[in-house]
Amino acid sequence: MKLESRRGALLLDTLKSAGLRLRSDCGGRGTCGKCRIVVKDSSRVSVVEETEKQRLSTFELRSGQRLACCTHLIHDATLSIPEESLATKRKFLIEGTEKPVIVDPAIRKFYVTMQKPSLSDARSDILRLSDSLKDAYGLETTSVDYQLQKRLPEILRKGEWKLTVTMWNNEIISVEPGDTTEEAYGIAVDIGTSKILAYLSNLATGKLVDTGSVENPQAIHGEDVISRISFASEGGEESLKEMQKLVVDGVNAIIQQVCSKSRHAPEQIYEMTVVGNTVMHHLFLGIPTKYLGISPYVPAVSGPIDLKARELSIDMNPAANIHVLPVIAGFVGADALADVISTEIYKSSKLSLIIDIGTNTEIILGDKHEMIACSCASGPAFEGAHIKCGMKAVAGALEKLWIEPENYKVKYVTVGGVKPIGICGSGIVDAVANLSRLGLIDNSGVFVERSPTPRLRTTKGRKEFVLVFRKEGATRDIGITQKDIEQIQLAKAAIYAACYVLMKRKGVKPENIDNVFVAGAFGNYMNLDNAKLIGLFPDVPSRSIRFVGNAAGAGARMALISKKHRRTADLVSQKIRYIELASDSEFQTEFASAMFLPNKRADRFAPFRNAFES
578 is a contact residue toward its own copies (CB under 8 A): yes
The single-letter code of the amino acid at 175 is V
Q: Residue 215 or 306: which CB sits closer to its own copies? A: 306
Smaller CB separation from its own copies, 18 or 372: 372
Q: Which of 111, 291, 469, 605 binds its own copies (CB under 8 A)?
A: 291
- The stretch among 178-186, 191-199, 326-334, 335-343 that binds its own copies (CB under 8 A) is 326-334
Range in contact with its own copies (rule: CB under 8 A) among 103-111, 144-152, 261-269, 376-384: 144-152
Query: Could you give the dihedral angle defined by the CA atoms of residues 396, 402, 405 and 406, in that order, rounded to the nearest 10 degrees?
Result: -50
**Rounded least distance, CB 149 to its own copies, Å:** 5
> Which residues inside 232-251 make contact with its own copies, applying CB under 8 A?
none
Segment near its own copies (CB under 8 A), from 151-159, 178-186, 444-452, 483-491?
A: 151-159
Q: Counting contacts by CB under 8 A, is residue 305 touching its own copies?
A: yes
Q: Sort 427 into a burial class: Cβ within 10 Å, 0-12 / 13-18 / 19+.
A: buried
Which of 220, 395, 582, 592: binder of its own copies (CB under 8 A)? 582
Closer CB to its own copies, 328 or 497, in the complex:
328
Cβ–Cβ < 8 Å for 76, 20: no
The residue count of the chain comes to: 614
Pick from 76, 160, 311, 511: which binds its own copies (CB under 8 A)?
Answer: 311
DSSP conformation class of 577:
E
- Residue 234: name the closest of 289, 192, 301 by CA: 289
377 near its own copies, judged by CB under 8 A: no
- The C-alpha atoms of residue 198 and residue 129 are separated, in whole angstroms, by 34
Which element (helix H / strand E) includes 171? strand 171-177
How many residues bind its own copies (CB under 8 A)? The answer is 43
Part of the chain binding its own copies (CB under 8 A), chosen from 69-77, 213-221, 300-308, 426-434: 300-308
Q: How far apart are CA 560 and CA 186, in angstroms?
A: 7
If one asks whether residue 127 binds its own copies (CB under 8 A), the answer comes out as: yes
Task: Give yes or no for a contact between 348 and 368, defined as CB atoms under 8 angstroms apart.
Answer: yes
In whole angstroms, the minimum distance from the beta carbon of 500 to its own copies comes to: 19
> By CB neighbour count within 10 A (0-12 exposed, 13-18 middle, 19+ buried), where does 536 fall?
buried
Q: Which of 9, 48, 300, 508 binds its own copies (CB under 8 A)?
A: 300
Residue 154: is it exposed, middle or buried by C-beta count within 10 angstroms (0-12/13-18/19+)? exposed
Interaction between residue 117 and its own copies (CB under 8 A): yes
601 binds its own copies (CB under 8 A): no
121 forms part of the interface with its own copies (CB under 8 A): yes
Tell me the closest approach of the beta carbon of residue 299 to its own copies, in angstroms.
Answer: 4
Instruction: Output 219 or 226, the one with its CB closest to its own copies.
Output: 226
Long-range pairs, 132-140, Cβ under 8 A, ≥24: 133/165, 133/167, 133/172, 135/2, 136/1, 136/18, 136/19, 136/110, 136/112, 137/1, 137/18, 137/19, 137/20, 137/110, 138/1, 139/110, 139/167, 139/170, 140/170
Task: Identify the CA nearest to 577 among candidates 377, 365, 354.
Answer: 365
Residue 181 CB, nearest approach to its own copies (Å)? 24
Q: How far is the CB of 330 from its own copies (least distance, A)?
A: 6
* Residue with Cβ nearer its own copies (362 or 484): 362
571 near its own copies, judged by CB under 8 A: no
Measured from the CB atom, the residue of 295 and 475 that comes closer to its own copies is: 295
Q: Would you say 398 and 423 are in contact if contact means Cβ atoms under 8 Å apart?
A: yes
Query: By CB under 8 A, which span of 145-153, 361-369, 470-478, 558-566 interacts with its own copies?
Result: 145-153
Residues 6 or more apart whose CB falls under 8 angstroms from that of 132 comprise 112, 113, 114
- Rounded Cα distance, 362 and 193, in Å: 14
- Cα separation, 490 vs 488, whole angstroms: 5
Compute how many other C-beta atoms are within 10 angstroms of the C-beta atom of residue 138.
12
Q: Cα 481 vs. chain centroid, distance in angstroms? A: 35
Q: Which CB atom, from 39 or from 332, has the smaller least distance to its own copies? A: 332
Toward its own copies, which CB reaches closer, 296 or 439?
296
Tell me, letter by letter, the H, E, C secondary structure of 20-82.
CCECCCCCCCCCCCCCEEEECCHHHECCCCHHHHHHCCHHHHHCCEEECCCCEECCCCCEECC
Nearest to 377 by CA among 225, 592, 227: 225
Of 368-376, 489-497, 506-514, 579-587, which part binds its own copies (CB under 8 A)? 579-587
Q: Is residue 169 close enough to count as binding its own copies by CB under 8 A?
A: no
The answer to whether the CB of 591 falls within 8 A of the CB of 535 is no
- 439: contact with its own copies by CB under 8 A: no
Q: Is 47 in the site for its own copies (CB under 8 A)?
A: no
Q: Which of 15, 52, 69, 125 binds its own copies (CB under 8 A)?
A: 125
Q: Which stretch binds its own copies (CB under 8 A): 2-10, 33-41, 295-303, 472-480?
A: 295-303
Smallest separation (angstroms) from its own copies to the CB of 315: 19
What does the longest C-alpha to C-alpha distance in the chain come to? 101
Phi, psi of 329 (to 5 degrees): -160, 180
Residues with Cβ within 8 Å of 248's Cβ and at least 6 positions away in sequence, in order, are: 284, 312, 313, 314
Pick the closer one to its own copies by CB: 59 or 119.
119
Least separation in angstroms between CB 534 and its own copies? 30
Which amino acid makes up residue 492?
A: K
Chain residues 269-288 in contact with its own copies, contact rule CB under 8 A: 285-288
580 binds its own copies (CB under 8 A): yes
Q: Report the alpha-carbon distance of residue 271 to residue 521 in Å, rounded.
A: 26
Which of the ranges 208-216, 296-304, 336-344, 379-387 carries the binding residues for its own copies, by CB under 8 A? Answer: 296-304
Judged by CB under 8 A, which of 82, 303, 416, 452 binds its own copies? Answer: 303
3-state secondary structure of 241: helix
Q: Is 118 in the site for its own copies (CB under 8 A)?
A: yes
Site for its own copies, residues 543 to 562, rule: CB under 8 A: none
Stretch of 34-42, 198-206, 292-300, 440-448 contacting its own copies, by CB under 8 A:
292-300
List of residues contacting its own copies (CB under 8 A): 117-127, 144, 146, 149-150, 152-154, 285-288, 290-291, 295-303, 305, 307, 311, 327, 329-330, 578, 580, 582-583
